[in-house]
């Protein structure tokens, strides 16, 4: 991932919260085209948007590459139950990719009722759960009571009234909040838990699960997504 600026960079660059900014071409994402000839072993090229791709659509390429990478690594299968914490851009796209990968029950969790309604009405997920403010408060290190309570409520939604439901096949955290990462571990029945935002300081690591972490996207996934518009 390439950030436009950082607090530790001097001089600082301003303006990344504007709708549009000018920047040097060298800041564009680059990909390498491999050429087998000895004269030109590789060629680095800037990714350019085709004329039929809008800037609004292009802005989704980076978060889409995060979602594709997460669901690919999590190996979502037909019939899986997937739980996604966070209904922001990355969470919505991760939920959508989980559905496209075959998950038949996708539950999305967020503190914002409007985001949950948007996710459900636009087909990003099958079920939704709104976290109340009281559930969102407990993040004391080593204390998992709030996370377990949140997990129990989410599992009730994900179970679809199946008394034999044991937990999600795969869980994604797209919030970076510690309580969500903790709850994500408790709702997983033991297959895969993935966080898309950052590592957590305090989680229950006694459970037998496969944990993956990623901040941003790996270059190959972004390259694959970026060249897709060029191919139509």
- For residue 229, the tally of other CB atoms under 10 A from its CB is 16
Binning the chain into helix, strand and coil, the percentages to the nearest 5 are: 35, 20, 50
What integer pLDDT is reported at residue 156 of this predicted model? 95
Cα angle 193-106-153, degrees, rounded to a multiple of 5: 75
Chain centroid to CA 92: 8
CA separation for the pair 174, 119 (Å, rounded): 14
Closest CA to 98 of 229, 219, 220, 196: 196
Supply the DSSP string of 170-218, one letter for each residue.
Answer: EEEE-S--HHHHHHHHHHEEEEEEEESS---SS--TTS--EEEE-SS--
Q: Where are the domains of the chain?
A: 61-213
Instruction: Give me the sign of the Cα torsion angle 156, 160, 165, 171.
Output: negative
For 188-214, b where at least 16 C-beta lie within 10 A, e where not — what string? bbebbbbbbbeebebbeeeeebebeeb
Q: What CATH number does the domain located at 61-213 have? A: 3.40.50.720
What integer pLDDT is reported at residue 206 of this predicted model? 41
Tokens of 127: 């079920």
Residue pair 184/83 in contact (Cβ under 8 Å)? The answer is yes
CA separation for the pair 142, 76 (Å, rounded): 30
CA separation for the pair 80, 194 (Å, rounded): 15
For residue 219, with 0-12 CB atoms within 10 Å meaning exposed, 13-18 middle and 19 or more buried, which class applies?
middle
Report yes or no on whether pTM surpasses 0.85.
no
What integer pLDDT is reported at residue 66 of this predicted model? 87
Residue pair 132/145 in contact (Cβ under 8 Å)? The answer is no
Tokens of 185: 């571990």
- Averaged pLDDT in 10-residue chunks for the chain of 232 residues: 55 64 68 52 60 81 87 90 95 96 97 97 97 66 78 95 92 90 85 55 44 53 58 50
């Amino acid at each position: 991932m390439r950030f436009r600026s950082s607090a530790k960079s001097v001089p600082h660059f301003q303006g990344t919260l504007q709708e549009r900014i000018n920047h040097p071409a060298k800041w564009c994402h680059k990909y390498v085209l491999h050429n087998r000839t000895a004269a030109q072993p590789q060629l680095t090229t800037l990714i350019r948007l085709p004329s039929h791709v809008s800037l609004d659509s292009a802005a989704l390429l980076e978060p889409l590459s995060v979602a594709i990478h997460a669901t690919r690594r999590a190996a979502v299968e037909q019939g899986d139950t997937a739980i996604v914490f966070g209904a922001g851009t990355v969470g919505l796209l991760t939920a959508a990719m989980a559905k496209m990968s075959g998950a038949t029950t996708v539950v999305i969790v967020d503190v914002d009722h409007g985001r949950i309604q948007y996710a459900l009405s636009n087909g990003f997920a099958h079920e939704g759960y709104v976290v109340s403010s009281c559930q969102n408060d407990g993040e004391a290190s080593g204390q998992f009571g709030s996370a377990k309570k949140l997990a129990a409520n989410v599992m009730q939604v994900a179970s679809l009234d199946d008394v034999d439901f044991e937990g999600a096949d795969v869980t994604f955290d797209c919030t970076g909040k510690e309580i969500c990462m903790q709850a994500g571990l408790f709702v997983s029945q033991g297959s895969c838990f993935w966080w898309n935002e950052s590592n957590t300081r305090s989680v229950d690591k006694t459970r037998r699960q496969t944990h993956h972490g990623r901040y941003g996207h790996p270059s190959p996934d972004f390259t694959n997504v970026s060249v897709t518009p060029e191919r139509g």
